[in-house]
Chain A
Amino acid sequence: MISDRGMTRRILVDRMGTALAVGAVITALIPLGAMTAYVIAQGGSALSLSFFTQGPPAVEGQAIGGMFPMIVGSLILIGLTSCLGIPVGLLSGIYLWRYGAGSFGQAVRFVTDVIAGIPSILAGVIAFALVVLPTGTYSAYSAAIALALLMFPTVTRATETALGAVPTELREAALGLGATEWRVVVRVVVPTAASGIVTAVVLGIARVTGETAPLVFTANGLPVVSTNIFGPMGALPLQIWQDANTPFATDHQAAFAGALVLFGIILALNLIARILTYRLSRRTRIT
């Protein structure tokens, strides 16, 4: 029988340890709460309808202005990036799942994981070296290339995993009906795996929406609305950064307003990803 004194001490340590762990949780949640509260407070006070309709003020420091051109620019960039990142991610994921057992497949897997880990600034630098330098101009599509580089690895991995999770018997049932391979993949396997794939895509978009560093080297920013993807373009995170770096208080307020909008968009996308996961996986739940 362990002595009572020893046992008491050990129980005390256990309690204190638990308290410590809970303390750690609170410590982590404090900055989250503080940040959220601060951005909402500062951003909210600077936010107005004109923020979504106007561009930056003509004269620095006079007014908060708006970020409408940057919001448009961000949307265009996300669209372009998705056009590049989603097909590459989806197709390479299918490749790895179906044909990827050999050494070529292993190499592609390894490389995808490597690219998944590169800092976002480097994606921008590489797009700069590959596209901006030779073409001599900043451009939206070079930014899309950089962002697609950041986006596709999660889609590739999620696609391969999700396809692998589809039970073999579904594939066999489709083959047994006399379907060709590609029809089995496109009409049965991929739809059944949709939940995992769509979640990864939405999360990938959420991540890419907030990236700033790659845009510094590629899109460079523009104060007005532009649909020319071959030229520079403004974007929300870029503008926030530029506004934060000026000495003008109004620009700082604009930065916070922009940060609030950005935060809201990313939060919404994350929630959408969660909801989609839930609803799509219910649809394909195999009883």
Chain B
Amino acid sequence: MAESVRADEVSAWYGKKLAIRDISVTMEPNKVTALIGPSGCGKSTFLRSINRLHEVVPGAKVAGDIWVGDRNVYGKDMDAVKVRANIGMVFQRPNPFPTMSIYDNIAAGPRLSGRAGKRKQMDELVEHSLRQAALWDEVKDRLKEPATGLSGGQQQRVCIARALAMKPGVLLLDEPSSALDPIASFKIEELLLQLKNDYTMVIVTHNMQQAARIADFTGFMLAGTDYVGELVEYGETTKMFSNPSDSRTEAYITGRFG
């Protein structure tokens, strides 16, 4: 079931260096929220704070709370591993596990988190996930082949299916199509539009046109002269792009910098 994501004054550090400051935003369920901004503004850092992947870097710290659904992922008794098992993440470069077949890649999530059921259930889960990722028909006859034998776009859909197999409430995507050719990229965008029926999606993208095409809401982030990223403006995508409230947003969108 799709869940909302509410960030409450989230700041994050790499060691002593502050990367993002006081980000507060609510992302609605069953909607696509895009985070745009020039590179280095902390979009990915914020994204990784949501599923507590940020703290994996030695010395990394987070302040503030993030509520996914009705639970604070930074709550006192929250286990980071369990948090990540309930949030899906897709990365910039397709990264299927090279030692595993397509089938094993999709099954990896449940197996790694100790949730693997019986064979038949796993078969159904794999098929369902691949259907959701619009890949089933293309690979159904070669599930046992290595995932690295697929094209870039197909590999990225394997990664999406892999994340979906965990039945997350939220799907985080970090520039999911920036490493793909335009056709594959387009197919991914189509897929994301379909998926929002069942999931909440937060997508980081440096491609404004992509945000304009697929996002319901958009957040614009910017790092000031102190190199600390902040959320400058957030709103419905159509409003952001036609009539932004902040002059910096307008400058970025019209291409005066970026």
Contacts and interface: CB of A to CB of B under 8 A. Distances in A.
Given A188-B97, A283-B98, A283-B99, A176 B81 contact: no
B53 A174 contact: no
A179 B98 CA distance: 17
Contacts of A191: 99
Interface string B21-56: 000000000000000000000000000000101001
Nearest to B110: A177
Contacts of A286: 98, 148
Contact of A177 (B56, B84, B148, B155): B84
Nearest to A186: B112
Interface residues of A, number: 24
Contact of B53 (A167, A176, A283, A284): A176
A174 B84 CA distance: 10
A229 to B, nearest CB: 35
Contact of A179 (B88, B91, B112, B146): B112
Interface string A150-188: 000000000000000001011011111111100110011
B152 to A, nearest CB: 8
B113 A192 contact: no
A191 B98 CA distance: 9
A287 interface: yes
A192 B108 contact: no
B148 A285 contact: yes
Contacts of B82: 178
B162 A175 contact: no
B109 interface: yes
A286 B98 CA distance: 6
Interface string B57-91: 00000000000000000000000011111111101
A194 interface: yes
B112 A184 contact: yes
Interface string B163-185: 10010000000000000000000
Contacts of B159: 173
B95 A177 contact: no
Q: From DSSP, what is the main secondary structure of chain A's interface residues?
A: helix
A194 B159 CA distance: 22
B128 interface: no
B93 interface: yes
Contacts of A284: 98-99
Contact of A283 (B113, B146, B162, B163): B146
Given A172-B53, A172-B56, A287-B148, A177 B97 contact: no
A176 B84 contact: yes
B116 to A, nearest CB: 12
A274 B60 CA distance: 41
A284 B148 CA distance: 8
A191 to B, nearest CB: 4
Given A194-B99, A286-B148, A177 B109 contact: yes
Contact of B81 (A167, A169, A178, A285): A178
Given A174-B108, A178-B81, A285 B163 contact: no
| Residue among A175, A177, A283, A285 facing the most chain B CB atoms (10 A cut-off) | A177
Contact of B108 (A172, A177, A180, A287): A177
Contacts of B97: 170, 173-174, 188, 192
Contacts of B85: 177-178
Nearest to A193: B99
26 contacts: A169-B93, A170-B95, A170-B97, A173-B95, A175-B56, A176-B51, A176-B53, A176-B88, A176-B89, A176-B163, A177-B108, A177-B109, A177-B162, A178-B85, A178-B166, A183-B112, A187-B108, A188-B99, A188-B112, A191-B99, A192-B99, A194-B99, A283-B98, A285-B148, A286-B98, A287-B149
Given A170-B98, A188-B99, A188-B108, 6 more contacts: A173-B89, A174-B97, A176-B84, A176-B87, A187-B108, A192-B99
